[in-house]
Amino acid sequence: QVQLQESGPGLVKPSETLSLTCTVSGGSISSYYWSWIRQPPGKGLEWIGYIYYSGSANYNPSLRSRVTISVDTSKNQFSLKLSSVTAADTAVYYCARHPHRSSAIDYWGQGTLVTVSS
Amino acid sequence: EIVLTQSPGTLSLSPGERATLSCRASQSVSSSYLAWYQQKPGQAPRLLLYDASSRATGIPDRFSGSGSGTDFTLTISRLEPEDFAVYYCHQYGSSPRTFGQGTKVEIK
């Protein structure tokens, strides 16, 4: 059974960079696509972007200028960096898997709340 | 960007009743690449249906999906107590991937 676990700081200051890592266990990171999705408190879901295990990435245009997603196959991990954060970036951040570029997300991490505040 | 609009915002029903949730897309969803997720408080979304009508592993057959193009429907034939939750549709045929704003199914 594949499991995904997000990790990283729960509090980030405005204008700084949010950094999260997702560790994949119970399966290989290879041959799959890996996404980050976020959900502001009490609101809906927003797709941030995905990365393929080979390293090619695709980002939501609304966040593209501030987002970098990377992968480390040796550690079975992928990561999210979101720069110049504001209070609007406060959200639960989920990492997730989809088998193909155009396939439904089938596995999700439990999510981690990141609060942007001074 | 494909905008997904879900209706109604809230559905108040009793256990045993039928629930019909709608998801309308601002443009045609490629190859019916549309999924439905269930989310309970404090939990990650759970995949119910993909490709508009295919049930994910372990999902009971009271959940069914239909539709194509711009209009999609999730039907729960007889609501069980554990089905009261928020439901999201999600299109993954065009980039960026997008989600509907959710429909809350609450106990009447």
Cβ-defined contact of A102 to B93 (cutoff 8 Å)? yes
Interface of B with A (CB under 8 A): 1, 30-31, 33, 35, 43-47, 50-51, 56, 88, 90, 92-93, 95-102
Cβ-defined contact of B51 to A61 (cutoff 8 Å)? no
- Cα separation, B35 vs A41, whole angstroms: 22
- A35 part of contact set with chain B, CB < 8 Å: yes
DSSP string, chain B: ---EEEE-SEEEE-TTS-EEEEEEESSPPGGG-EEEEEE-TTS--EEEEETTTEEPTT--TTEEEEEETTEEEEEESS--GGG-SEEEEEE-SSSSPEE---EEEEE-
Average pLDDT of the residues in B73-87: 98
pLDDT, tens digit only, all 118 positions of chain A: 999 999 999 999 999 999 999 999 999 999 899 999 999 999 999 999 999 999 999 999 999 999 999 999 999 999 999 999 999 999 999 999 999 888 999 999 999 999 999 9
Residue A111 Cα to chain centre, angstroms: 9
- Cα separation, B89 vs A7, whole angstroms: 27
Nearest to B47 among A60, A104, A109 (CB): A104
**CB contacts, 8 Å: B93 with chain A:** 102
